[in-house]
Amino acid sequence: DIENLSDLKKLAVLGLGNGGVVYKVSHQKTNSIYALKLLRLDHNAAFISHQAAAREAEILKRVDSQFIVKCHAVFYTLEGELCFVMEHMEGGSLFDVLRVRGKFSEDVISGIALRVLKGLQYLHGMQIIHGDIKPSNLLINAKGEVKIADFGVSRIVGGTPAPCEACMGTGTCAYMSPERVDSERWSGGADYDYYDYGFAGDVWSLGVVILECSVGHYPLIGMGEKPDLVALICAICFGETLEIPETASPEFRSFVKTCLEKDWRKRGSLDKLLAHPFVNRTTSSNVII
Ligand code: ATP
Ligand code: MG
């Protein structure tokens, strides 16, 4: 068991997020490698409140699935930092791999989609809305398998009721659904709140990620266009012509359209998508190699 920061030796920086730094560390006693995410709660005036950090810790402690990045320990340091000791994902994030590889074959994308769907099925089954599915929050292990990470803006239904302030703070709304970026127009009225449409929002985000894996850049606006907030929100809410590559298979096209249905009440459910032919292909390899 890891209970102390002094048990861990920092080897390298794996990533910088809005909330903190992620290090590659080794556990001295067992010689095992982990990823350590440190959230500096005090002088992070920016976006991380104690409440948000505690929520992330609470979620990570509950979650145990092969489709979610495992968290082995959570503790506070004397300096007031919150530490997450996580499974080290050797392949880095899908964001980084996409930048290097450009795009992926449909077989690989099918494998990514299936694993994210299963991860979401697990989370939603526990009444957890991830809320921030995007390439930098999907991590890849040494086998080339994708897992969901980063519960910084997630919500447990019935838990701390502080819906989606996160989007504006955490940089981008690029992967957020229409009902999330403009809930007044798209949520369907006062009868619905984030705990109703949040689950479908995770499906939308997956659709954007999947399409990005195929076209090789953020897919809802043109490559040269300036992705300012207004352009993004317009593209998400009103953009009609999806740039799906001509070479894409009919199954891919249908899968992406099912995820990117603007009306969340008509959007594909996880069950429907898990039964979709696009994620039920028999392929020789659907991992990222
Ligand atoms: P953001 O707000 O930008 O999403 P964050 O502060 O919430 O960032 P994370 O998303 O958890 O932090 O991690 C930031 C980056 O660190 C990831 O995109 C990834 O590159 C790297 N990283 C995080 N966790 C791991 C891990 N377990 N193994 C390997 N790399 C990791
Ligand atoms: Mg992140």
ipTM of the complex: 0.95
C-alpha distances in Å from residue 210, one per residue of 106, 111, 229, 237, 286: 10, 10, 22, 18, 14
Q: Please name which ligand lies nearest the alpha carbon of 153.
A: 1
The residue written with tokens 């898990």 in the block is 274
Residue 244 gets the label, from left (phi > 0), alpha (psi -120 to 50) or beta, of: beta
pLDDT category of residue 165 using cuts at 50, 70 and 90 = very low
Question: Residue 232: helix, strand or coil by DSSP?
Answer: helix
How far apart are alpha carbons 265 and 250 in whole angstroms? 23
Q: In what order do the strands lie in the sheet containing 20-27? A: 8-16, 20-27, 32-40, 81-87, 71-76
Q: Determine the average pLDDT of the residues in 3-20.
A: 87
Share of the chain above pLDDT 70, in %: 88
Neighbour-count burial for 29-54, b at 16+ CB within 10 Å, e otherwise = eeeeebbbbbbbbeeeeebbeeebbe
The tens digit of pLDDT for each residue in 169-224 reads 445 789 999 999 998 889 988 888 888 889 999 999 999 999 999 999 999 988 77
pLDDT of residue 162: 41
Lookup: tokens for 72: 């082995």
Q: How far is CA 108 from the centre of its chain?
A: 18
- The residues facing 84 across adjacent strands are 37, 74
Q: What is the pTM of this model?
A: 0.91
- The residues lining ligand 1, judged by C-beta closer than 6 Å to any ligand atom, are 14-15, 17-20, 22, 35, 37, 69, 86-89, 92-93, 136-137, 139, 149-150, 152, 170
Does the pLDDT at position 146 exceed 50?
yes
Question: Which of 64, 132, 196, 228 is labelled catalytic?
Answer: 132
- Mean pLDDT of the 36-49 span: 66
Q: Centre a 10 Å sphere on the Cβ of residue 267 and count the other Cβ atoms it contains.
A: 23
Higher pLDDT among residues 240 and 10, named by residue? 10
pLDDT at 156 over 80: no
Q: Among 117, 65, 68, which Cα is nearest to 280's?
A: 117
Band of pLDDT at residue 158, cut at 50, 70 and 90: low
Tokens 């809802």 belong to residue? 220
Is residue 142 predicted with pLDDT exceeding 90? yes
pLDDT band at 88 (very low <50, low <70, confident <90, very high): very high
CA atoms within 13 A on the CB side of 258: 19
pLDDT in tens, 226-265: 778 888 999 999 998 777 889 999 999 999 999 999 999 9
For ligand 2, a single-atom ion, the residues with CB < 5 A are 17, 137, 150
Residue 10 has pLDDT above 70, yes or no: yes
pLDDT at 139 over 50: yes
* 3-state secondary structure at position 215: helix
For the chain, the C-alpha Rg in angstroms (whole number) is 19
Both tokens assigned to 134 = 């995007």
Express each pLDDT in 53-74 by its tens digit: 777 788 888 899 999 999 998 8
Whether 171 contacts 18, CB under 8 Å: yes
Q: Which two tokens stand for residue 164?
A: 């989606």
Tell me, in angstroms, the distance from the centre of ligand 2 to residue 189's CA.
30
**pLDDT interval class at 133 (50, 70, 90):** very high
Measured CA to CA, the distance from residue 197 to residue 204 in angstroms comes to 11
Report pLDDT for 144: 95
Asked if 132 is an active-site residue, the reply is yes
